[in-house]
């Protein structure tokens, strides 16, 4: 595209009622180094339903278990191992209770699937799940939760700490999605919420 004869420096439109404030509009060389950056193209799958199942494991009519959800590719980090309770769901067991030995559970998209764009959920949505810790070992009664995005395994959201967990007690947790992706300036990390590939990363802090 040839910008030599541009007469409109900036235009922003909306197809619905909208109220916003905007300021400090600039053109910045090498803006891919800035944050957050809104990509011009996005080939992620946009989530649009009232709810979106990340992971479900439930007993079907034939008595066998069915596993569904777009985060239906679980893995663990050292030194944990996966197990699948008879009542459904998914579990992780730590092989070592020593300090700092805090392996965890990760729910991934499958390798041949598109990353997910959760933009439509970010304003008022939550990440919700049930959790029960059978044994904490030498760790405290807390669990840390992240969401992962992008191609780097090291790229993940801010940490949300689940506090007040008691051994053997099942608890329903609702985490505002904004809490994962809000920057210090109060802005949302747009790039990250459009490239989610590890919707749940949970471990002991």
Span 121-179, pLDDT tens digits = 999 999 999 999 888 776 678 889 999 998 776 678 889 999 888 889 999 999 999 99
Nearest to 23, CA basis, from 38, 34, 12: 12
Residue boundaries of the structural domains of the chain: 36-203
Cα→Cα distances 103→28, 29, 79, 128, Å: 41, 41, 5, 21
Predicted model pTM: 0.78
CB-based contact 80:93 (threshold 8 Å) = yes
Domain 36-203, CATH among 3.30.1490, 2.60.40, 2.60.120, 3.30.70? 2.60.120
For the segment 30-44, the average pLDDT, to the nearest whole number, is 66
């Amino acid at each position: 595209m040839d910008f030599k004869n541009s007469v409109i420096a900036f235009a922003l439109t909306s197809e619905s009622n909208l109220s916003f404030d905007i300021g400090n509009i600039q053109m910045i060389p090498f803006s891919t180094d800035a944050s957050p950056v809104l990509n011009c193209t996005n080939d992620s799958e946009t989530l649009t339903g009232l709810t979106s199942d990340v992971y479900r494991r439930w007993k079907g009519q034939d008595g066998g278990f069915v596993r569904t959800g777009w985060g239906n590719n679980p893995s663990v980090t050292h030194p944990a191992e996966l197990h699948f309770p008879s009542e459904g769901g998914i579990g992780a067991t730590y092989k070592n209770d020593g300090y700092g030995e805090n392996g965890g559970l990760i729910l991934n998209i499958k390798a041949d699937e598109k990353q997910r764009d959760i933009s439509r959920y970010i304003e008022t949505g939550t990440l919700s799940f049930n959790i029960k810790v059978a044994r904490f070992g030498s760790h405290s009664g807390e669990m840390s939760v992240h969401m992962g995005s992008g191609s780097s395994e090291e790229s993940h959201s801010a940490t949300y700490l689940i506090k007040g967990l008691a051994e053997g007690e099942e608890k329903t947790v609702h985490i505002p999605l904004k809490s994962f992706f809000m920057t210090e300036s109060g802005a949302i990390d747009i790039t990250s919420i459009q490239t989610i590939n590890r919707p749940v990363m949970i471990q002991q802090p």
